[in-house]
A = this chain, B = another copy of it.
Amino acid sequence: MLQESSVDSSGSRFAPLVVLELASDTKEEAIAWLLNRLRPSNHLPLFDQLGPGIGVEEKENPNMFLVGASMQRLLCGAEDLGLFKECTDGSMRAFTFASKHNFKDFKGDGDGFLSMAECQYVIKHELDTLRAKEETNVPGYSHAKLYPGKSIIRRLLSKGILIQMFPLHENEELKRLSFSWYKKVKVSLQPLDDIRHYYGEGQALYFGFLEYFTFALVPMALIGVPYYLFDWEDYDKYVVFAVFNLIWCTVILELWKRRSASLAYYWGTLCRKKAFEEPRPGFHGVLGHNPVTGRAEPIYPTSKRHLRVYLVSLPFVLLCLYLSLYIMMIYFQMEGWALSIYDENPTFWTHILLFIPSIIYAVVIEAMNLIYRYAAEFLTEWENHRLESSYQNHLVLKVLVFNFFNCFASLFYIAFVMQDMELLRQSLATLLITSQILNQFMEAFLPYWLQRRRNKKMIRKIQKRRLYEEKELPLVEQVRLEADMSTYLGTFDDYLELFLLFGYVSLFSCVFPLAAVLVVLNNITEVYSDAFKMCRVFKRPFADPAANIGVWQLAFEAMSVIAVVTNCALIGMSPQVRSYFPESETQLILCTVAAEHVLLGFKFILTFLIQDVPKHIQDKLARLEFESLEALKKKVKSDSALTFFTLLPLSKLLPVL
């Protein structure tokens, strides 16, 4: 029971926040050493070893520790992190312990001022910045070297001594959240503030983006439905749709930036200064001194990394793209053969043969995506990036380019080389519907089912020993259950899916107007399945104080540029436009190209004109900046108040001629 908490000697309650799981065969001296470093005299959180659970005889890991901290310690940690909170005057300011009573929700000792996600993030930060003081090694592990300034937790993780570190769920909160999020049937917005409160800003921004994207698609879906109902075969009238598409994809991305800035401002992440990033756990190199912090850390020359990126990774990615293109060409050839065989001899078996190439191609594409994903992860790891963010950017870029190619190359081929709009529409519909069903099954229901089986086993085990009066599990069992849950790997795959859907809609929805409708439907179910997955399937992730959707904004913008070009080309190819240039194809192409350039130029001007941050937030940010400058000036003035000047009648001294 998470509600159950203990009282320490100074009278504050112990609320368990984070779990540390060490390997079950960790040597005693290492545990003692680590616990010693976590001891409160170092101003570090309280901790507690998890009592043996039910299944000690079944070789359950005895080395699980609960970490908590007093409210005062957490508040100091929040100040240390520079968390922004709302003040009584409605503005957002960096929290400081000294000025705590200026903050809106601060009452009494500050209980409830920080959300549990924030408390857990504070503890994670404190654990991450627990540093070795001298050159030594983890006691009992001579290969786990430590040097001054090295994060102990990261070394323990990289050597496999620390298996995992995860924050605990709050059952009451979780119930409330899941009820307002996905359990009620009535149509309403997602509880973004609650999601942020429970899972942190990174998650909340993902769900905010998903919701925003869905709403942005509604007008397009509304145009698409009558189009589909009344004009199904009259697809040469898609010029209107394509023009709408053009403007739509630019405008919604710009408006999202504004919305994201608003959200991030009120969540306090927009102006929070980020701490200097630590090297990621897998980073290796010769021990040297970081030029920025002066701390000892591994140094790896940037030039070597560039060599690896440009001479190995880049050619590899290009090779994979070529391969993917090659396989696509084989698919179209097979398709042609199958068709010719069917035309020669139209029987039942040859009719089935028609589907064989598509099926083979779909399977091969999925396999290639999977293999490529592993290869990309391996390569990016091998590139040895110093920062997690740079690792993520390189991985996202690699996976994105390949996925884009794999998903869209065949569609582009059909549209621009074969110029078969009917086939394009069919392919799009098939792709959208199958990917929707497959994704939601693979993403949420399969893991949930596996999870459920594991849980049931565990609960049966417990019930064997004793009968429950209460429905809730005791804390010890709760922790063990959560430790067994799968780890949530971040929003990467969710964003990738949205990216591909955005691509289908913005590139080709003029050919298949129902695409927007399908994507809206998909997004609605996606909200539920993602929410369900977050609440029930995965371990709670640590909060990620993100201020925007990061590299994905760039990816979506790149897609919208490609959409402009594609839509222009589709307009140029439409019979409606062609009929205006009956004799001269050259003129048609020149006009299309000119229109495309004007539109691209217009798009960039629009990007400049629509400000990324709404005016009232800009004012608030400027006010914060202004106040800090004024504070600095006051300091200067009071320092220099000693200086004193006298007025001098200099005209007498000047040589008047």
Residues of chain A at the chain B interface (Cβ within 8 Å): 4, 6, 8-10, 14, 39-41, 43-54, 66, 69-70, 72-73, 76, 79-80, 82, 96-98, 273, 275-276, 291-293, 302, 465-466, 474-477, 565, 585-586, 589-590, 593, 597, 615, 619, 622-623, 625-626, 629, 632-633, 636-637, 639-640, 643-648, 650-651, 653-657
Contact = CB atoms under 8 A, between A and B. Distances in A.
B646 A292 contact: no
A626 B293 contact: yes
Given A46-B650, A54-B657, A97-B640, 4 more contacts: A4-B655, A6-B650, A98-B639, A477-B657
A585 B585 CA distance: 9
Contacts of A70: 643, 645
Cβ-closest 6 pairs across A and B = A40-B645, A48-B650, A51-B656, A76-B640, A6-B653, A8-B648
A648 B48 contact: yes
Contact of A648 (B14, B619, B640): B14
Contact of A645 (B73, B292, B615, B619): B73
A618 B589 CA distance: 46
A40 B76 contact: no
Given A476-B657, A656-B52, A650 B14 contact: yes
A654 B475 contact: yes
Contacts of A291: 619, 623
B292 A619 contact: yes
A75 B72 CA distance: 42
A597 B565 CA distance: 9
Given A273-B629, A476-B657, A593-B589, A48 B643 contact: no
A6 B72 contact: no
Contact of A51 (B72, B79, B632, B651): B651
Given A292-B622, A589-B586, A647 B76 contact: no
Given A4-B655, A276-B629, A476-B654, A72 B643 contact: yes
9 contacts: A6-B650, A8-B648, A9-B648, A10-B644, A14-B648, A73-B645, A292-B619, A586-B586, A589-B593
